[in-house]
A and B are shown apart, each in its own frame.
Chain A
Amino acid sequence: MPHKPQAHTDYWRANLRILARLLVLWFIVSFGFGILLVEPLNSIRIPGTGFKLGFWFAQQGSIYAFVLIIFYYVRRMNRLDREHGVQED
């Protein structure tokens, strides 16, 4: 396979941008909503349930968000691999 430094650099930069966005999201749903902002969020109730919003994020919501983040990442990266022609086989 021929060496393609520029294509690889572009691929890596795009990868880092995706990572940064998703890690911000990861931080917000857990450390943000579950810990730092838990008190203000606890004054909000999820309608139709007994959950205070901050408590719900700390014990349920953050975990659902983590699963979604990974599955989104997988799809996005598979597309990125193809766009830059670096996919396997």
Chain B
Amino acid sequence: MSVREWTYAIVVVSFALYIGIAIWAKAKTTKDFYVAGGDVSPLANGMATAADWMSAASFLGMAGIIAFAGYDGSVYLMGWTGGYVLLALLLAPYLRKFGKFTVPDFIGDRYYSQSARIVAVFCAIFVSFTYVAGQMRGVGIVFSRFLEVPVTTGVLIGMAIVFFYAVLGGMKGITYTQVAQYCVLIFAYLVPAIFISLMVTGNPIPQLGFGGQDLASGEWLLDKLDGLHQQLGFAAYTEGSKGMLDMFCITAALMVGTAGLPHVIIRFYTVPKVRDARISVGWALLFISILYTTAPAVAVFARTNLIQEVEGRAYAEDVDAAETVPAWFKTWEGTDLIAWRDKNNDGRVQYRAGAPFLGKPAFVEGTGDNGERLVANEKTDNANELYVDRDIMVLANPEIAKLPAWVIGLVAAGALAAALSTAAGLLLVVSSAISHDLLKRALRPNITEKGELLAARVSAAVAVGIAGVLGIYPPDYVAAVVAFAFGLAASSFFPAIIMGIFSRRMNKQGAVTGMVCGIVFTASYIIYFKFIDSGPGSQDRWWWGISPEGIGAVGMLLNFAVALTISKLTPPPPQHVQDMVDSIRIPAASRKEG
């Protein structure tokens, strides 16, 4: 069977599985729809959370980002896992005890304020849509690359699948399909990683392999890579080049943002008990860490392979095979992800630090002297001739390692599983924010159970439609607004929820002012440095050298400081709210309101 046949077969089987699960797990009540009936086992919830969390970007992008950033890429590894410690220790058990359905539920009830609830609803919707656009795009790209259908058709197929299980099954359908999706995606990630680790270092465990010796030369692999990097003018792979304060702030913003993301928090309402909420965060992080500790190993293997197999090789075919670029180089050049511009006209690829030309490659008709595709971009005056898209690292790995065709099909199915599971989780947040928080809790408190369930389904369906449109016509700023999602979650939800639990004295005035200051500060900084002053040299004007990605950490501190000060100057919250805080701190059921 060819690669394409394998890919079709594996993708179709996995989709059939998801649809089968969706029919089996149809939601009958709003409780089923919002929190899967509240009786998901902690292990299943952990797996579902892991699939929910690991998006197309984690699956396809992360190893690539680390491969190109080296030590600097650690901010993502620590940031996107360390947040789960905060979630387990500071949020999940208490929110489970609180026992409603959504994040705005907590904010609105704890701060006895409809306006706080509505601010939270809009933050939740904004954060979720920011994220979901990237997922649908990811689905479209995987379809177009592996199955050779147009991106639009790919997005439409993805929408149909998500529509089916998210609209029918709600949280219940999503949870059990996510369990299946986790299994598919982790298997698809590990198989090529194990093969490559064996090939490069002789050790089947990638986490150990990248600390081992290179089979070919006997050198420590990391030393060899550091050497290659320095030879070509890059910073040493294991040392990096970001400032320490910026590393610190980005890691903090990502950790806190992770703990404050509504689609992650909402998952801990689905288990029966406080005890289950605690352990299911543990399972979630364990399942996530399998991928997150493999990714840096894949990054090192891929980076070393890339440099060794490409640098100094001739492009034209008539040169000795050991001296020419490998076949995958041309395959990926054909998909616009690799571009080569022979600046010194020697017919060989010269890979150095710096961008080969300005912007993403704009391919034009015709070929150059060696048969390479031509680009119209204005070239830079450094020596680098090679453009490599970071996403290629995971996608091209099976080919670079010469793995069998079914592995490539598996990677495609894994990437789709990662994108679909995250998209579904986010769409559920949007749908529950509209039908539950906005409609039931704010606008139409008398709505019937049946009416609310219908509203939830309709808003899920509309959200799927909007997500699809964002996937087909992606706004240019998608990459830039991801900083927004984490920055907003870090500077608004996280402090508000933490203070709601750990400070009995925190009142409406303090929390709302804190949230507003945190959001306004963080959003202005990000907008200013991402859109207004984003050109070269803007880095020098960053405050204390902190990048827009890391500013959420400062916004969070500002939120805490403002909220604590204002609450000292204003009256304490009413008695029933203080009683509620006492109640969520104790696992045993003793609360009066339900």
Contact A35 B251 (CB under 8 A): yes
Given A11-B586, A12-B585, A74-B282, is A56 in contact with B274 using a C-beta cutoff of 8 Å? no
Contact A78 B275 (CB under 8 A): yes
Contact A58 B78 (CB under 8 A): yes
Contact residues in B for A46 (Cβ distance below 8 Å)? 211
Given A23-B89, A86-B586, A88-B587, is A51 in contact with B211 using a C-beta cutoff of 8 Å? yes
Contact A62 B82 (CB under 8 A): yes
The listed residue (A26, A51, A88) touching B222 by CB distance below 8 A is: A51
Q: Which of B284-292, B444-452, B518-526 contacts A (4 or more CB under 8 A)?
A: B284-292
Contact residues in A for B89 (Cβ distance below 8 Å)? 19, 22-23, 70, 73
Question: How far is it, in angstroms, between the C-alpha of A85 and the C-alpha of B588 when the chains are bound?
Answer: 8
Contact B275 A88 (CB under 8 A): yes
Contact residues in B for A74 (Cβ distance below 8 Å)? 88, 275, 278-279, 282
Contact A88 B274 (CB under 8 A): yes
Contact residues in A for B84 (Cβ distance below 8 Å)? 66, 70
Contact A1 B247 (CB under 8 A): no
B81 in the interface (beta carbon within 8 A): yes
Question: How far is it, in angstroms, between the C-alpha of A54 and the C-alpha of B401 when the chains are bound?
Answer: 29
Question: How far is it, in angstroms, between the C-alpha of A26 and the C-alpha of B90 when the chains are bound?
Answer: 13
Contact B251 A31 (CB under 8 A): yes
A49 in the interface (beta carbon within 8 A): yes
Contact residues in B for A38 (Cβ distance below 8 Å)? 71
B221 in the interface (beta carbon within 8 A): yes
Contact residues in A for B85 (Cβ distance below 8 Å)? 22-23, 26, 66, 69-70
B207 in the interface (beta carbon within 8 A): yes
Contact residues in B for A19 (Cβ distance below 8 Å)? 89-90
Known: A22-B85, A62-B77. 11 other contacts (CB 8 A): A19-B90, A34-B78, A50-B212, A50-B213, A50-B220, A50-B222, A58-B71, A62-B82, A63-B293, A66-B85, A89-B273
| Chain B residues within 8 Å of A, Cβ to Cβ | 66, 71, 73-74, 77-78, 81-82, 84-86, 88-90, 93, 207-208, 210-213, 220-223, 238-239, 244, 247-248, 251-252, 255, 273-275, 278-279, 281-282, 285-286, 289, 292-293, 296, 582, 585-590
- The 21 sampled A-B contact pairs (Cβ below 8 Å) are A8-B582, A22-B85, A30-B255, A31-B251, A31-B252, A35-B244, A46-B211, A50-B210, A51-B222, A55-B222, A58-B71, A59-B296, A62-B77, A62-B78, A67-B285, A69-B85, A70-B278, A73-B89, A77-B93, A78-B278, A88-B587
The 4 closest A-B pairs by CB, nearest first: A50-B220, A49-B211, A58-B74, A70-B282
| Chain A residues within 8 Å of B, Cβ to Cβ | 1, 3, 8, 11-12, 15, 19, 22-23, 26, 30-31, 34-36, 38, 42, 46, 49-52, 55-56, 58-60, 62-64, 66-67, 69-71, 73-74, 77-78, 81, 85-89
